Amino acid sequence: MTLKRKVAINISLAFSLLFGLAAIFVYLRFTDFRKVEFEEKLENKAYNTAKLVDEIKRIDNVTLQILDRKTLNKINNEKILVFDANYQLIYTSIDDAKINWTKNDLLLLNKKRTFFRTIDDKELLGVRFDFSKSDRYYVLILGQDKYGISKMNFLLVSLIVSFVISILFIWTFTYFLIKKSLQPLDDFQEKITSISANQLNLKLPESNTKNEIDLLTKAFNNMLDRLEKSFSMQKEFTSNASHELYTPLTRIALQIENLMTKEEHSEGTKKYLKNINNDIHQVADLINALLLLAKVERSEINKNFKPIRIDDIILQANELTAKNYPELIVHFEIIDHTDMDNPLEIKGNQALLVIVFTNLIKNGFLYSEDKKVNITIHQKSVKELAVSIENNGPSIPVEDQSKIFDSFVRGKNATNTQGSGIGLRIVKRILEYHNAQITYRYSNQSNIFTINFSI
């Protein structure tokens, strides 16, 4: 889960919880308020009835019921019972509702003065009134708070709708707000992802603000500076050391070649000198490879890319390889299924690509059984071109295939073949600068290296 989603979800959950608790609190408080309000209404009705009974007690019960019917503050499903001090029922309203009461209710009123309880969807209030020492009345009044309950239902629906709408709004708003706030972090991630080991000279744009993103950008740029200095020192040392070693080796090789031309040496001595000369040339080739690798790893190299034809590069590499290996036989094939203005053309550095194909053709020759190398150029589309270099020979062991592009790694099939183990590493490094991919596979008794260029 991304950081912005995590922050947005946490904020939204916190708001949802707080809003939900607030809505529950409001509903519960309003429920209590409704009960208290309806209890006061029942108590007022009970007091008025008891007072009326006390004041006009000489009037018959029918007259009291008529007066009760004419009252203005009627309660829905109302029922009133009035008892005297001896717990005798002296008045009952004419409503159809019934109150299930016992003498214990009256005794409870005598002791506690009042009680209030809920019966199904109705509410019952019992209250005792003492108008004088001799005039005591016990009143039981039952009623239904129809309008209060309807208001409660309306409040409940309003709170639920408000909660749902608010949650949808806050989740959407929070997500886009967090996304916009953390957009600089996404830009930062995108920029640092685009910086490779070959582009350490690139720097992220800095601003004058002092927020966390800008501080992180400055720290990252400082780290890039330190890395670039460290790599530069390493490359400079490799280049200087290789150059200093190459010069005396060249002199030694020339002296040995001069010794080999002298007739006074026996054939055994000449053979021994030739082996030494071959070893020196192998060391010299290794030093040349190190110099080239140090050069290839310079980030400025991709500034010299120009349109070039891949077939011209391969022909030039073939000519250079054939000078050292006259037995080499190369078979070319070009497959072009596209209608393009400039087929077989890519952008790159010609000198470096010549080195790539020189190494691959040389390896194809050295590790083949018939000294033949097959090269196929396939123009797959206007944006993709593939080159396959194939030779007939033993396969690279499976355990070595994942390491063939590492430096100084040679497979078990290279035991009797001279080499430094750095050629394919140089090939891969150059192709990386050209945004090209190289892969290896073994098929039909053939080793096949395939290079895919993105045009």
Q: What is the CATH number of the domain that holds 247?
A: 1.10.287.130
Q: How far apart are CA 296 and CA 424, in angstroms?
A: 13
Please indicate, yes or no, if residue 146 is contained in any of the structural domains: yes
Range of the structural domain that residue 363 is part of: 305-454
Residue among 389, 390, 385 nearest 310 (CA): 385
Residue 409 has pLDDT above 70, yes or no: no
Last residue of a domain, one of 259, 276, 296: 296
- Share the mean pLDDT of the chain: 81
pLDDT attached to residue 131: 83
pLDDT attached to residue 254: 83
Q: Are residues 340 and 277 in the same domain?
A: no
* Count of the separate structural domains present in the chain: 3
204 vs 328: which has the higher pLDDT: 328
Please indicate, yes or no, if residue 197 is contained in any of the structural domains: no
pLDDT confidence bin for 299, thresholds 50/70/90: very low
For tokens 């949808």, what's the residue?
Answer: 168
Q: Which residues of 123-143 are buried (b: 16+ CB within 10 A; e: fewer)?
A: bbbbbbbeeeeeebbbbbbbb
Mean pLDDT value across residues 345-355: 87
Locate 384 and state its tokens: 């993709």
Residue 198 has pLDDT above 60, yes or no: no
Please indicate, yes or no, if residue 204 is contained in any of the structural domains: no
pLDDT attached to residue 372: 94
pLDDT attached to residue 437: 93
Q: Are residues 11 and 141 in the same domain?
A: yes
pLDDT attached to residue 29: 92
pLDDT confidence bin for 295, thresholds 50/70/90: low
Per cent of the chain over pLDDT 70 is: 83
Residue 394 has pLDDT above 80, yes or no: yes
Residue 155 has pLDDT above 70, yes or no: yes
Residue among 57, 79, 83, 81 nearest 136 (CA): 83
Residue among 33, 41, 31, 49 nearest 144 (CA): 41
Q: Are residues 64 and 146 in the same domain?
A: yes
Q: Are residues 228 and 286 in the same domain?
A: yes
Q: Are residues 292 and 377 in the same domain?
A: no
pLDDT attached to residue 196: 62
Q: CATH number of the domain that 91 lies in?
A: 3.30.450.20
Q: Are residues 314 and 275 in the same domain?
A: no
Task: Write the pLDDT tens digit of every residue in 93-111.
Answer: 867 678 888 889 889 988 8
Task: Write the pLDDT tens digit of every residue in 33-53.
Answer: 988 888 888 888 888 888 877
Q: Are residues 333 and 276 in the same domain?
A: no
Q: CATH number of the domain that 401 lies in?
A: 3.30.565.10
Last residue of a domain, one of 134, 152, 170: 152
Please indicate, yes or no, if residue 189 is contained in any of the structural domains: no
> Which among 36-45, 174-183, 216-225, 411-420 has the top mean pLDDT?
36-45
Residue 205 has pLDDT above 80, yes or no: no
Q: Are residues 344 and 287 in the same domain?
A: no
The overall longest dimension of the chain from CA atoms, in Å, is 164
Helix (H, G, I), strand (E, B) or coil at 410: coil
Task: State the pTM of this model.
Answer: 0.48
Residue 330 has pLDDT above 90, yes or no: yes
Q: Are residues 44 and 133 in the same domain?
A: yes
Mean pLDDT value across residues 113-126: 88
Q: Are residues 145 and 9 in the same domain?
A: yes
